[in-house]
């Protein structure tokens, strides 16, 4: 009986030891794991417990190991080295290689993921007027042609909405802008021809509310402004071929110039806009088409002159409400003076601008 009791005590002690060692191993294996939030996205991975080497390209970021998973709007982007199902990098020579991210830099609403070849994938979580949005940019190294990111559904459903594949998550529809093949194939491919993509909610656009543009605290001004510029530029970039409003075209080109992608922005503008009736001299500075711009400038100038002439003949005081009236008339007078000798010799008539000026002086 005593021997049986001793064996039971020894067995119980062995079980306690096994449980203790299991807990210790579990604790150390989870050391460095993280689950972070940036905007509306959740980022999971594991930090590498090692000091970054001097001269690393992504200095200021944190080394990671074992891959990273990013969750947003019912789907998960799996940035992890796995055979045929992980993060793949294609070289210009046709080579295909599975890789793990090396670095991650996290700022307000943005996660920059550095890859071993010098490329980077940037995830921006935005809260635009169209709802939650994830804007993804691939910054490819010179020897890299494209990257392929696996996309997996998480706590969501793939449904059809107006013939397009969308994600149903949390009562809202989400989809990639201008394409649904990523949801059907389970792969997001970013290349030099298509270096960015937007994944956002398709919820009904909110009504205009001035409070959306009132910043509660002055110190938040820059971050709010940057978020707005990023979301608006993302919309323009995705819909550049369909931009037909000249103000939007000008704003898009200016912002692209600031971001160093001016040439790509100009090439993306539809040829139907260039030299069309919708283009004037204002946008010709950015995208060309000076022949059409000159015609619009001349037509606008003649229309203004005709309008001012009519007001002057009627001796209407509304003529003084015209913007820069004297500057305009003096400029026209100076231009007339340059060719006055030729015109007066041929026509022997006074100049309409001189007569107009005499009414005011």
User: Mean pLDDT for the chain?
Assistant: 76
Tell whether 278 and 210 lie within a shared domain. no
Tell whether 210 and 355 lie within a shared domain. no
Worst-scoring range by mean pLDDT, 15-19, 83-87, 225-229, 273-277?
273-277
Helices and strands: H and E segment counts in the chain: 10, 16
Residue 20 lies in a domain: no
Res 289 pLDDT > 60: yes
Token representation of residue 302: 């003649």
Tell whether 138 and 196 lie within a shared domain. yes
Tell whether 82 and 198 lie within a shared domain. yes
Determine phi and psi for 209, rounding to 5 degrees. Answer: -135, 115
Residue 207 contacts residue 130 (beta carbons within 8 Å):
no
Tell whether 279 and 182 lie within a shared domain. no
Determine phi and psi for 200, rounding to 5 degrees. Answer: -150, 170
Tell whether 69 and 135 lie within a shared domain. yes
- pLDDT, residue 333, reads 62
- pLDDT, residue 72, reads 92
Tell whether 223 and 162 lie within a shared domain. yes
Measured distance between the N- and C-terminal CA atoms of the chain, rounded to whole angstroms: 128
pLDDT digits (tens, 9 = 90+) for 87-112: 999 998 888 889 999 989 888 788 99
- pLDDT, residue 217, reads 54
Most confident range (mean pLDDT) of 74-78, 270-274, 293-297, 339-343 is: 74-78
Tell whether 299 and 247 lie within a shared domain. no
Tell whether 259 and 224 lie within a shared domain. no
Residues in the chain: 361
Mean pLDDT of 174-182: 79
Res 31 pLDDT > 60: no
- pLDDT, residue 58, reads 44
- pLDDT, residue 173, reads 86
Give SS3 for 292.
helix
CA distances for 72 relative to 43, 198, 206, 219, 224, angstroms: 9, 12, 21, 28, 21
> By residue range, what is the domain housing residue 269?
239-288
Residue 16 lies in a domain: no
Worst-scoring range by mean pLDDT, 8-22, 24-38, 59-73?
24-38
- pLDDT, residue 209, reads 63
The residue among 321 and 231 whose pLDDT is bigger is 231
Residue 19 lies in a domain: no
Selection from 178, 226, 188, 197 nearest residue 135 by Cα: 197
Q: Using the CB atoms, write b or e for 311-340: b if 16+ within 10 Å.
A: bbeeeeeebeeeeebeebbeebbeebeeee
The domain boundary residue, chosen from 183, 201, 231: 231
How many distinct structural domains can be found in the chain?
3
The domain boundary residue, chosen from 231, 253, 274: 231
Selection from 240, 274, 275, 273 nearest residue 255 by Cα: 240
Tell whether 299 and 332 lie within a shared domain. yes
Mean pLDDT of 245-266: 87
């Amino acid at each position: 009986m005593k021997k049986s009791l001793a064996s039971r005590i020894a067995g119980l002690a062995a079980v306690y030891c096994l449980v203790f060692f299991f807990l210790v191993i579990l604790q150390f294996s989870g050391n460095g794991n993280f689950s972070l939030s940036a905007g509306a996205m959740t980022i999971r991975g594991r930090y590498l417990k090692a000091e970054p080497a001097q001269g690393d390209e992504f200095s200021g970021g944190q080394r990671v190991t074992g891959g990273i998973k990013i969750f947003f709007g019912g789907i998960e982007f799996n940035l992890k080295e796995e055979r045929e199902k992980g993060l793949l990098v294609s070289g210009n020579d046709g080579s295909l290689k599975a890789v793990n991210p090396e670095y991650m830099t996290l700022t307000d609403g943005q996660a920059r993921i550095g890859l071993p070849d010098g490329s980077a994938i940037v995830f921006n979580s935005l809260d635009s007027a169209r709802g939650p949005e994830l804007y993804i940019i691939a910054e490819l190294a010179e020897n890299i042609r494209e990257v392929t990111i696996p996309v997996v559904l998480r706590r969501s459903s793939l449904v059809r909405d107006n013939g397009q594949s969308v994600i149903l998550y949390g009562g809202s529809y989400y989809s990639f802008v201008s394409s649904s093949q990523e949801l059907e194939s389970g792969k997001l491919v970013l290349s030099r021809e298509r270096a960015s993509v937007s994944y956002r909610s398709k919820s009904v656009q909110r009504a205009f509310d001035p409070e959306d543009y009132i910043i509660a605290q002055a110190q938040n001004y820059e971050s709010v402004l940057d978020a707005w510029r990023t979301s608006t530029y993302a919309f323009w970039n995705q819909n550049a071929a369909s931009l037909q409003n000249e103000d939007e075209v000008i704003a898009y080109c200016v912002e692209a110039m600031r971001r160093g992608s001016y040439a790509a922005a100009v090439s993306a503008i539809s040829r139907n806009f260039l030299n069309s009736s919708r283009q004037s001299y204002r946008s010709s500075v950015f995208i060309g088409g000076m022949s059409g711009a000159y015609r619009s400038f001349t037509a606008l100038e003649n229309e203004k002159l005709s309008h001012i002439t009519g007001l002057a003949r009627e001796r209407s005081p509304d003529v003084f409400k015209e913007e820069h009236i004297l500057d305009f008339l003096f400029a026209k007078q100076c231009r007339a003076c340059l060719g006055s000798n030729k015109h007066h010799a041929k026509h022997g008539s006074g100049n309409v601008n001189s007569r107009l000026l005499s009414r005011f002086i």
